[in-house]
Amino acid sequence: MEQNSNIQNGEQGAGVPVQPQQQYAPQPQQQYAPQAIENPGKGMGIASMVLGIVALVFCFIPFLGWLGVILGIVGLVLGFVSLKKTPQGVKSGMAKAGIVTSIIAIALNLIMLIVVAGFIGALGTAASASGY
């Protein structure tokens, strides 16, 4: 019984083999993945694309074409600013998509404004000719 109490206290008893304590190897330093390059113009690129899409929707609403032109111009400016702020080697697809959708939206809204103005003019001519 004395040997067991000595072993529990960490003392070596007679005839009882003592296992050596394990030495742990130092853990290697954890490797971190390289940080992705931040794109400061990403938010503006997304805003440009959203404004371009919203401006496209406004070209189908007859008397709100002017609002579509304004949104398209703002989207175009944001797209170019986003391209300017984007570092070399970083994807800028959102900004390019925003520029394209804004240009298409401006063109379609201007065409629709001209068509609506033509219809209003034709309606006025027809009304004055018929005596109304």
The mean pLDDT value of the chain amounts to 83
Percent of the chain predicted with pLDDT > 90: 47
Q: What is the pLDDT of residue 131?
A: 73
CA distances for 61 relative to 29, 54, 112, angstroms: 61, 11, 9
Helix (H) or strand (E) holding 22, with range, is: none
As a whole number of Å, the CA-based R_g of the chain is 37
Distance from the Cα of residue 26 to its chain's centroid: 42
Asked if 100 contacts 108 with a C-beta cutoff of 8 angstroms, the reply is no
pTM (2 d.p.): 0.67
Report the 10 Å Cβ neighbour count for 130.
7
In three-state secondary structure terms, 78 is: helix
Token pair for residue 113?
A: 């404004």
Task: Work out the average pLDDT over 103-125.
Answer: 92
Q: What is the pLDDT of residue 64?
A: 86
- Tell me the pLDDT tens digit for each residue of 22-60: 777 777 777 776 666 677 788 999 999 999 999 999 989
Q: Which of 108, 117, 111, 90 lies closest to 52, judged by CA?
A: 108
Dist. CA 86–CA 79, nearest whole Å: 11
Amino acid at 62: P
- Tell me the pLDDT tens digit for each residue of 84-96: 988 888 888 899 9
Q: What is the pLDDT of residue 88?
A: 83
Dist. CA 57–CA 49, nearest whole Å: 13
Instruction: Quote the DSSP letter at residue 14.
Output: T
